Structure 1
Amino acid sequence: MPTKILIVTGDAAESLEVLYPYQRLREEGYEVHIAAPAVKKLRFVVHDFEDGFAPYPEKPGYTWPADIAFADVVTEDYEAVVVPGGRAPEYLRNDPEVRRILAPFAEADKPIAQICHGPLITAAAGTLEGRRVTAYPALELDMKAAGAHFEDSEAVVDGTLVSA
């Protein structure tokens, strides 16, 4: 039976940050499940950096079905979790089910991969205290408030916690 990996996401997640890990992990033989607040067709977004816009503009991205609702996730069934960015982490961090899912991965020292704005969720779950992380640069203060050591870097590996 293949090793299971969970992707925790929702509407307005960055398309590439969900679908690239999903496809690559499947290519490597993992069974990958996408968890969301509800089992439904998720609507992802694409962020672009364009001249003339102070913040990055958001455009519609791909749609993709969620496999499992957060409330139905049994964390012990998964060996690792991926937390993509985009806008989804801004509201998902307030969901107690997301925090319930993330905390056991940190407690068991299982791999956690967090991308861009994804660390907003791991911070809300209380899993970043004393850890080295990177994130979208505008999140530096959020990461420090969570007790993390922020590094302005493309990627940071701190044990089983990987940030990009």
Structure 2
Amino acid sequence: MHRGLGPNAVIGGMRIFYLARSDETADDMGVYRVEMDPRTPGAGLHRHARLTETFSVEAARLALHVDGADHDLGPGDFALIPPGIAHAFANRSDRPVRFTLSFAPALGREGFFEGLARLAAAGRLSDRAAMAELMARYDQEPLAGFAAWSEVSG
């Protein structure tokens, strides 16, 4: 299915394209293409109570932290993150990275991306109360060190 040329959500240097929306899959899953500019933070350390999340890297390198271990994923690499497992990701390289991200069940994940995009556009990604409220609605629990892991050096 062709979705169009532009991203559905833009969060700083990260663009998200909806490939399979939760409303198209009866909320069983959501599939998204993510493009991140060089040296772009992604999600800080967090976990999900219900969501299983996957990462499949298509181009460049993605830094992924899973359950206390750091990983450097390249093209063709895949990671599956079961519910309850602490994880974070970022693009720490000098090249743009592209990967496919999925969630099962989706739990309306597009609403989370769109909420992040609104906060980013308003310069409010560092607003802890707004971020906590958004995360709580979409099964995302920030963990100690949430912001620190995904920070990238300029």
TM band (smaller chain): under 0.3
TM-score normalised by the chain length of structure 2: 0.27
TM-score normalised by the chain length of structure 1: 0.26
Task: Say which one has the larger Rg.
Answer: 1
**More helix per residue: 1 or 2?**
1
Which structure has more relative contact order (CA 8 Å, sep 6+)? It is 2
